[in-house]
Amino acid sequence: MDEQSVPGVRATAHGTEPTDLSPPSMPAAIDRRMRRLLSSVPFATATVHLGISVSGYFLALQIQAIDADAKVGNLALVHAVGSVAAMIAQPLIGVLSDRTRTRAGARTPWILTGAVIGSAGLITAGLSTTIAMLVVAAMIIQFGFNTLGGPLSAILPDRVPTRLRGRYSTLAGLGSISAAILGPILASLFVDRIPLGYSTTAGVIVLIAVLFVLLNPDLDNRALPRQHFSTRAFLADLWVDPRRYPDFGWAFLGRLLIFGGYFMVLTYLLYLMQGYVGLGVDEAAQLVPLIGAAGMPGFLLAIVISGPLSDRIGRRKPLVLVGGLIVAAALLIPLAAPTVAGMFAFGIVATIGFGVFTAVDVALISEVLPAKDDFAKDLGILNIAVALPSVLAPALAAAVVTVSGSYGAVFATAAVITVAGALAVLPIKGVR
């Protein structure tokens, strides 16, 4: 069947794009294709966060084993350098993906390439014995998985009708956050065999990526016009003028601050359990994954309700706001209760908030993109708002600890930043 003859689907530079002009009953073939995409996307989005969460857990342990006295600064360094690689990969691979013309479409080659590069970085990290080697491995990991994640996120505006984007966003968020929560739990099974843990994760990620692109093939787009790539134009396009596209700017700022506040605590969770709660390294390493697991039921409930609810009521902003404020409230719990119970309560409440936020944020973002011909590039720029906190948050947290002499001040600072991020959604006018 010629995709251009199917109601509700139009040809784009990336293959096909659903529109809201499709009739209530779409052809069975299209229905099957969309069902397959919706059922498999949680596994695909999980690959990115599985690789990053597993490496984050192992890196903290490796850095402490190499130099316990300088662990805070060294962890900030490793995350900062890795995140710079992520910020390079997101827009660069995005613009290259938008211009790719192959038999397999625009996104598939980059999804597979990213899975292989990121997995190679995981294996490299498992073999690392110095901080310098871990820095290099972190760069490879972040560049690879952001190479995978950028084109993967562009599938939403490429193929999913607006009326289904809340549902798709829910399922994508389900995979992302589930992997972020379960990754450390799986990694804890290999705490005495870290190289094996890294290589096992790498194998799983490559397998999932291959199965995803086989189940959801893109269309041959070699006949479509190829956009000219200009380095000067690419660098100029990295700046999206917030005066011209204010909704895009506010969405970027909100993401930056919410992830930034949360990452201030998440990055140092292993060390917070030691320096703030007072546990030993072995006990802290065992409890950190369980904190994430404790929040899983609430997260599942929040994300399953929030995405479809946003589609039903036709509103995104209230749910994004509520999710961000819940995360901010969770960050205050350890200040009142600097105990293991307090940290578990933080994990449960914060994960519920992120479930609400993640389920709707991706759908909101898909509706504020400036240009349809640059979906992956623009999403790459917005995803810098996730990568950049990985650079800034650890450095800011380390500075707060150094200046205040206490890990507790990290929670208060993170809560203020997260509230500001939640409020940033309010000025957005193009989405309700």
352-360: average pLDDT = 84
Residue 30 CB coordination number (10 Å): 18
Confidence of residue 168 (pLDDT cuts 50, 70, 90): confident
217-221, 281-285, 337-341, 404-408 — which one is most confidently predicted on average?
337-341
Confidence of residue 355 (pLDDT cuts 50, 70, 90): confident
Interval 317-335: pLDDT, tens: 888 899 999 999 999 999 9
Confidence of residue 95 (pLDDT cuts 50, 70, 90): confident
Alpha helices in 367-430 (DSSP H): 375-404, 408-423
Would you state the pLDDT for residue 334?
A: 93
With 50 as the cut, is the pLDDT of residue 228 above it?
Answer: yes
For 403, residues 6+ apart whose C-beta sits below 8 A from its C-beta are: 409
Would you state the pLDDT for residue 212?
A: 95
Higher-confidence residue: 387 or 168? 168
CA distance 97 to 297: 36
> How buried is residue 87: exposed, middle or buried, by Cβ count under 10 Å (0-12/13-18/19+)?
buried
With 90 as the cut, is the pLDDT of residue 255 above it?
Answer: no
229-243, 347-361, 380-394 — which one is most confidently predicted on average?
347-361
Would you state the pLDDT for residue 253?
A: 87
Confidence of residue 371 (pLDDT cuts 50, 70, 90): low
Residue 102 CB coordination number (10 Å): 13
Would you state the pLDDT for residue 109?
A: 92
The closest alpha carbon to 326, from 300, 289, 299, belongs to 299
With 50 as the cut, is the pLDDT of residue 398 above it?
Answer: yes
With 80 as the cut, is the pLDDT of residue 409 above it?
Answer: yes
Confidence of residue 293 (pLDDT cuts 50, 70, 90): confident
With 50 as the cut, is the pLDDT of residue 217 above it?
Answer: yes
What's the chain's average pLDDT? Answer: 82
Would you state the pLDDT for residue 230?
A: 63
The closest alpha carbon to 78, from 50, 58, 100, 108, belongs to 58
The torsion angles phi and psi of 9, rounded to 5 degrees, stand at -130, 135
The percent of residues above 70 in pLDDT, for the chain, comes to 84
CA distance 204 to 307: 28
Interval 140-156: pLDDT, tens: 999 999 899 888 888 88
Would you state the pLDDT for residue 61?
A: 93
The percent of residues above 90 in pLDDT, for the chain, comes to 34
Higher-confidence residue: 220 or 250? 250
DSSP states of 194-223: HHHHHHHHHHHHHHHHHHHHHHSPPPP-TT
Would you state the pLDDT for residue 7?
A: 34
Q: Are 48 and 145 in contact (CB under 8 A)?
A: yes
Q: Taking the complete model, does pTM exceed 0.75, yes or no?
A: no
Interval 26-49: pLDDT, tens: 444 457 888 899 999 999 999 998
Residue 147 CB coordination number (10 Å): 30
Confidence of residue 18 (pLDDT cuts 50, 70, 90): very low
Show me where the domains of the chain are located: 32-222+238-423
**The listed CATH number (1.10.357.10, 1.20.1250.20, 3.40.50.300, 2.30.30.40) that belongs to domain 32-222+238-423:** 1.20.1250.20
Confidence of residue 224 (pLDDT cuts 50, 70, 90): confident
The closest alpha carbon to 260, from 361, 356, 395, belongs to 395
For 347, residues 6+ apart whose C-beta sits below 8 A from its C-beta are: 291, 292, 294, 295, 330
Would you state the pLDDT for residue 268?
A: 83
